[in-house]
Amino acid sequence: MAERTPLMAGNWKMNLDHHQATHLVQKLAWTLKDAKHDYSSVEVAVLVPFTDLRSVQTLVDADKYEIKYGAQDVSAHTEGAYTGEISPVMLAKLGVSYVAVGHSERREYHGEDDALCAAKVASAFGQGIVPILCVGEGLDVRKAGEQVSYTLAQLDGALSGLPAEQAAQIVIAYEPVWAIGTGEVATPDDAQEVCKAIRDRLAELYSRDLADGVRVLYGGSVKSGNVAAIMAQPDVDGALVGGASLDAEEFAKIVRFRSHDVGL
């Protein structure tokens, strides 16, 4: 099986202005440095508000931090009369590595559908930015036991037409909507069930080899106290962390999930 470097990505959502962003990234970098964190063993990224990106870029470049950064959304277009949107070209100029696409809050509050997600995935890749495609079911779907088919339909829709070279780079985040910001974390088995189904679908759509190289993250109320059990699942390759990523020490503990077992 291909080696997959775990990715811990903090999704700040609409929190922290550019001053606060600088403080948090600095504190995170120092905390991880003190702990001698090896970024090649667990990759670290923060997905920040657009208005924070330039400040975060300046800091990361100046201090040569290994923390990656990204945005929380991207336009499906590269330029033109799209008031309020942000082009992937602009994001690429700011050195972003990742962009979230299709977060459930975008789907719910902005009516984003799978076709738009597919366009945004293509738009990000067009500028060399890796999309973190978010999928996951709501509570009604979970109660009906249809979480796998529902999530795979979202996956199929957003990957529609995506060439294998790009699919090989994508990151998928399984975020059950009922576990987001609710404190109700999916059990490790719940996370594994859908993350495995996502990987199996990638194998069907592309190849087993490709699927084995794609990172599938879990998101939804991840904290330092529950991350190790979730990461122990074979098909979970990291976490997309909301609330807990706003606290540098807590997020650093999540990044260092492997050290918890040995009490480091």
The residue ranges that bind ligand 13P (CB under 6 A) are 11, 103, 175, 180-181, 219-222, 240-244
Distance of CA 82 to the CA centre of its chain: 25
- What minimum distance in Å lies between the beta carbon of 239 and ligand 13P? 8
Tell me if 143 is assigned to a ligand binding site.
no
Tell me if 243 is assigned to a ligand binding site.
yes
Tell me if 253 is assigned to a ligand binding site.
no
Catalytic residue among 43, 105, 175, 250: 175
Query: In terms of Cα–Cα distance, which of 3, 61, 60, 70 is closest to 32?
Result: 60
Position of minimal CB gap to ligand 13P? 242
Tell me if 68 is assigned to a ligand binding site.
no
- What minimum distance in Å lies between the beta carbon of 219 and ligand 13P? 4
Query: In terms of Cα–Cα distance, which of 84, 21, 28 is closest to 57?
Result: 21
- What minimum distance in Å lies between the beta carbon of 77 and ligand 13P? 24
Q: Is 175 a catalytic residue?
A: yes
The residues pairing with 174 across neighbouring beta strands, listed in sequence order, are: 135, 218
- What minimum distance in Å lies between the beta carbon of 261 and ligand 13P? 22
The residues pairing with 43 across neighbouring beta strands, listed in sequence order, are: 7
Residue 26 φ then ψ, to 5°: -60, -45
When the beta carbons of 137 and 210 are compared against ligand 13P, the nearer one is: 137
Half-sphere exposure for 11 (CA within 13 Å, toward CB): 30
Q: Is 204 a catalytic residue?
A: no
Catalytic residue among 37, 103, 112, 193: 103
Tell me if 223 is assigned to a ligand binding site.
no
When the beta carbons of 31 and 104 are compared against ligand 13P, the nearer one is: 104
Residues with Cβ within 8 Å of 163's Cβ and at least 6 positions away in sequence, in order, are none
Q: Which two tokens mark 204?
A: 């069907």
Q: Are 168 and 209 in contact (CB under 8 A)?
A: no
Q: Is 54 exposed, middle or buried (0-12, 13-18, 19+ CB in 10 A)?
A: middle
Question: Annotated binding residues for substrate, as ranges?
Answer: 11-13, 181, 221, 242-243
Q: Residues with catalytic annotation?
A: 103, 175
